[in-house]
Amino acid sequence: MKQHIKIIDYKAGNIASVRYAFRRLGLEAGLAAYPDELKKADKLIFPGVGHARAAMNILKGKDMDQAIQSFKGPVLGICLGMQLMADSSEEGDMEGMGIFQEKIKRFSGNFKIPHMGWNSLYGLKGPLFKDVPEGSHVYFVHSYYMPQSSQAIGLCQYGEAFTAACSKDKFFGVQFHPEKSGKPGMQILQNFIDL
Amino acid sequence: MLTKRIIPCLDIKEGRTVKGVNFVNLRDAGDPVELAARYSEEGADELTLLDITATLEKRSTFLQVVEDVAAAVSIPFTVGGGIASEREVEKLLSKGADKVSVNTASLRDPGLITRLSDAFGDQCVVVAIDARKVEGDWLVVSHAGTRLTDRRTTEWAKEVCDRGAGEILLTSFTADGSRNGFSLDITRAVAETVPVPVIASGGAGLPVHFLDIFVDGQADAALAAGIFHYQVIGIEEAKNFLRNHNIAVR
């Protein structure tokens, strides 16, 4: 059975890289810019790079925020995509979708911001991290983060422990970029395909 | 723990990598895609692709290389070389590049940094700074190191961050090509001045040089070209050396 994965296209994400990553796994992911285009999809990828409120405004302008929240299958939010699924963000006082009950905060402290590079994961749980060993390094680029959460399925340490991955029902979020994270990243995308 | 990054740099001219000609075990060392995939497998943390022709007519060839590399590797990469406008950046990012580096154009038009940062996010704006030590002062040089400016390197580094740079690629033209080690003093001075990650470049010749630049130079990442292309040292060899000296690497 061939499944249809669609990538939300709202001009705020590195869509090309996500498409290429799925292509390497033998799956052609389509793009969806409007709610209509989600009808035939089995699963959604919700990428995101850039400014939280600006991105949310684009989504709301097309009613895509509602379409994502009411989508019937699994959804994977990546980076800003995950943050937009939270309650709110300090970045531009963004009001989010409220799927993950956390407030996104800005890193502050005596360390480099953005948190950029390869960092290790721990506390990995659930099907998204099947065959992904504790301590695996994945690629992060972000200045805002989700604090440690009861919905976390993976943690990371930068200044303090923060949520690297979370889930609620069929919604998943990862703060890092699986499409740019070498072998463990590809395993995570394969696990999403296998859900 | 956030790891220190090692970044091979591929110089690309008319769609071909230059310098990497005696890379063994490669069918075609001039093929940037094959070389990128090889480095990715050897444990490179990121790649940098530099378009050294960088004329408008040749840009389409480079765009194709960017697209092919993005399709082939699952690690991040930065592209640079003659980038001067938002339009060029939009094209490069749409082909799958993760970050762009700007250099000479940012000296001529510092507002470019802010415009790129506002349009695409500071995480993808790398400002490349080329520096040369002149009578005890580290001054910024432009046009691939051929022109001396009157800007002091640490002051310019601070300014580009205020303008929205998300990362600094600092190349020492004093050390570049020497294989005697990175310029530790200026790298440390910049790393202590700016709030963003610093990539050090120029002078790598031995695994211990990477240890020095991460510990004494306070760099977050180190970039090298020739020593990897000519297999003077391997990426995994450098990383093993760092691991044995308690530096966190992937």
Between B51 and A120, the more confident residue is A120
Half-sphere exposure of B48 (CA within 13 A, CB side): 27
Looking at the predicted structure, is the pLDDT value of residue B37 above 80?
yes
Report whether pLDDT(A32) > 90.
yes
Q: Are B2 and A158 in contact (CB under 8 A)?
A: yes
Structure ipTM: 0.91
DSSP secondary structure letter of residue B15? T
Contact A112 B195 (CB under 8 A): yes
Work out the pLDDT band at B29, boundaries 50, 70, 90: low
B97 falls in which pLDDT band (50, 70, 90)? Answer: very high
Distance to chain B for A3, nearest Cα, Å: 21
> What pLDDT is attached to residue B56?
58
On average, the pLDDT of chain B sits at 92
d(CA B192, CA B201) in angstroms, rounded, equals: 17
Task: Assess whether pLDDT exceeds 90 at residue B177.
Answer: no
Distance from CA of B211 to the nearest CA of A (A): 18
Q: What percent of chain B has pLDDT over 90?
A: 75
Q: What pLDDT is attached to residue A68? A: 96
Closest-CA residue of chain B to A140: B2
Tell me which residue has tokens 């444990």.
B43
Please determine, for residue A130, whether its predicted confidence score (pLDDT) is greater than 90: yes
Q: How far apart are CA B10 and CA B77, in angstroms?
A: 11
CATH of the domain at A42: 3.40.50.880
Chain centre to alpha carbon of residue A114: 17
pLDDT digits (tens, 9 = 90+) for B41-83: 999 999 999 998 766 566 778 999 999 999 999 999 999 998 9
Closest by Cβ to B220, choosing from A20, A24, A112: A112
Token readout for A118 is 């390869």
Over chain A, what is the mean pLDDT? 94
Cβ of B123 and A141 within 8 Å? yes
Q: Is the pLDDT of residue A22 over 80?
A: yes
What would the mean pLDDT of B108-137 be, rounded to a whole number? 93
Q: Is the pLDDT of residue A13 over 80?
A: no
Q: How far is B157 from chain A (nearest CA, A)?
A: 14
Classify residue A159 by burial, with Cβ atoms within 10 Å: 0-12, 13-18, 19+: middle
CA distance B243 to B222: 15
Cβ-based neighbours of B17, under 8 Å, separated by 6 or more:
B10, B11, B29, B30, B31, B32, B35, B229
How far is Cα A34 from Cα A24, in angstroms, rounded to an integer? Answer: 26
- E-state strands within chain B: 5-13, 16-18, 47-51, 77-80, 99-102, 125-134, 137-142, 147-152, 167-172, 198-201, 221-224
Q: Which residues of B are catalytic?
A: 11, 130
What is residue B57's predicted lDDT score, i.e. its pLDDT? Answer: 62
Residue of B nearest to A51 (CA): B121
A59-114 confidence digits (pLDDT tens): 999 999 999 999 999 999 999 999 999 999 998 888 999 999 999 999 999 899 99
Q: What percent of chain A is modeled with pLDDT above 90?
A: 86
Residue, of B13 and B65, whose pLDDT is higher = B65
Using the beta-carbon criterion (under 8 Å), do A49 and B96 form an inter-chain contact?
no
pLDDT of residue B222: 98
Other C-beta atoms within 10 Å of A46: how many? 29
Residue A49's pLDDT band, with cuts at 50, 70 and 90, is confident
* A49/B124 touch (CB, cutoff 8 Å), yes or no: yes
Contact A164, A153 (CB under 8 A): no
Residue B151's H or E segment, with its range, is strand B147-152
Percent of all residues in chain B with a pLDDT value above 70, rounded to a whole number: 94
Among the listed ranges A8-12, A189-193, B1-5, B43-47, which one has the minimum average pLDDT value? A8-12
Which residue, among B147, A180, B193, has the nearest Cα to B170 in the 3D structure? Answer: B193
How far apart are alpha carbons B235 and B233 in whole angstroms? Answer: 7
Task: Look at residue B203 in the predicted model and tell me its pLDDT.
Answer: 94
Q: Is the pLDDT of residue B157 over 60?
A: yes
User: Largest Cα–Cα distance in chain B?
Assistant: 47
The stretch A48-52 carries a mean pLDDT of 80
Domain count, chain A: 1
How many residues appear in chain B?
A: 250
Tell me, what's the pLDDT at B236? 95
3-state SS, residue B96: coil
Ordered by where they begin, the domains of chain B are 5-244 (3.20.20.70)
Range A152-176 average pLDDT: 97
Beta bridge partners of A75: A44, A171
pLDDT of residue B27: 60
Nearest to B1 among A113, A116, A157 (CB): A157
Round to whole Å and give the CA distance between B196 and A187. 30
Could you tell me the pLDDT band of residue B13, with boundaries at 50, 70 and 90? confident
Contact between residue B183 and residue B191 where contact means Cβ atoms under 8 Å apart: no
**Using an 8 Å Cβ cutoff, are B202 and B169 in contact?**
no
* Token pair recorded at residue B153: 């390197």
Kind of pairing between the strands at A115-120 and A144-147: unpaired
Looking at the predicted structure, is the pLDDT value of residue B125 above 70? yes
Query: How much of chain A exceeds pLDDT 70, in percent?
Result: 98
- Helix axes B235-244 and B207-215, enclosed angle (nearest 10): 50
List the domain range (segments joined by +) for residue A43: 5-194
The continuous run of DSSP H or E covering A81 comes out as helix A80-84
Best of A24, A49, A106, A112 to disrupt the B interface by mutation (most B CBs within 10 Å)? A112
Q: Do A182 and B74 touch (CB under 8 A)?
A: yes
Give the confidence band of B121 by pLDDT, cuts at 50, 70, 90.
confident
Task: Give the up-direction half-sphere exposure of residue B46: CA atoms within 13 A in the CB hemisphere.
Answer: 27
Task: Give the Cα separation of A8 and A163 in Å (integer).
Answer: 23
CB contact under 8 A, A14 and B98: yes
β-strand partners of A30: A6
pLDDT of residue B23: 55
* Calculated CA dihedral for residues A77, A81, A84, A87, nearest 10 degrees: 30
Q: Going by C-beta distance under 8 Å and a sequence separation of 6 or more, which residues neighbour residue B178?
A: B203, B205
Q: Is the pLDDT at A178 greater than 90, yes or no?
A: yes
